[in-house]
Amino acid sequence: MSGAMSGPLVVNDSVVIPDAELVWRFSRSSGPGGQGVNTTDSRVELTFDVAATTALPPSLKARALERLGARVITIAASEHRSQLRNREAATQRLAQRLREAIAPPPKRRRPTKPGRGAVERRIAAKKHRADLKRLRRDP
């Protein structure tokens, strides 16, 4: 059984994925469920094709494809008893995964040297420790 959940998926302020690009599949979930466990399709699979999407600009799409390593993302959620809560969990996980995939790379750290005062303090501390150890020795 497949269908679409109502409403687009908001990834961040500038990226919104239309619900037509999300593919939902429902099946029976394993685990606890009481009387309705064999009749309700509470397990949710959410599939999103990153390579075919029109919601991402080309630069973000290339970054996402590089970081995810896969064209298609499939998120499975079956930790809740109700299908609605599993749908919400799947959408949250997909949005988080896409946010991480399209995030800008971190700024490169410019390597720096320790300041002169820090070097002098470190050497003074070493000399102090050496003096203490020297005074403990037998003459």
Domain that holds residue 20: 9-102
| Nearest of 103, 20, 6, 104 to residue 55 by alpha carbon | 20
Pairwise CA distance, residues 139 & 47, whole Å = 78
Examine residue 125 and state whether it is found in any structural domain, yes or no.
Answer: no
CATH number of the domain within which 67 lies? 3.30.160.20
Q: How would you label 73-82 residue by residue, b for 16+ Cβ within 10 Å and e otherwise?
A: bebbbbebbe
Examine residue 119 and state whether it is found in any structural domain, yes or no.
Answer: no
Statement: residue 1 has pLDDT above 50: no
Q: What is the pLDDT of residues 26-48, one digit of tens each?
A: 887 666 656 655 566 778 898 98
Pairwise CA distance, residues 47 & 77, whole Å = 12
Domain count, the chain: 1
For residue 72, the model assigns a pLDDT of: 86
For residue 129, the model assigns a pLDDT of: 97
pLDDT grade, residue 15 (50/70/90)? confident
Examine residue 51 and state whether it is found in any structural domain, yes or no.
Answer: yes
Pairwise CA distance, residues 36 & 33, whole Å = 6
Examine residue 107 and state whether it is found in any structural domain, yes or no.
Answer: no
Statement: residue 6 has pLDDT above 80: no
Examine residue 53 and state whether it is found in any structural domain, yes or no.
Answer: yes
Examine residue 137 and state whether it is found in any structural domain, yes or no.
Answer: no
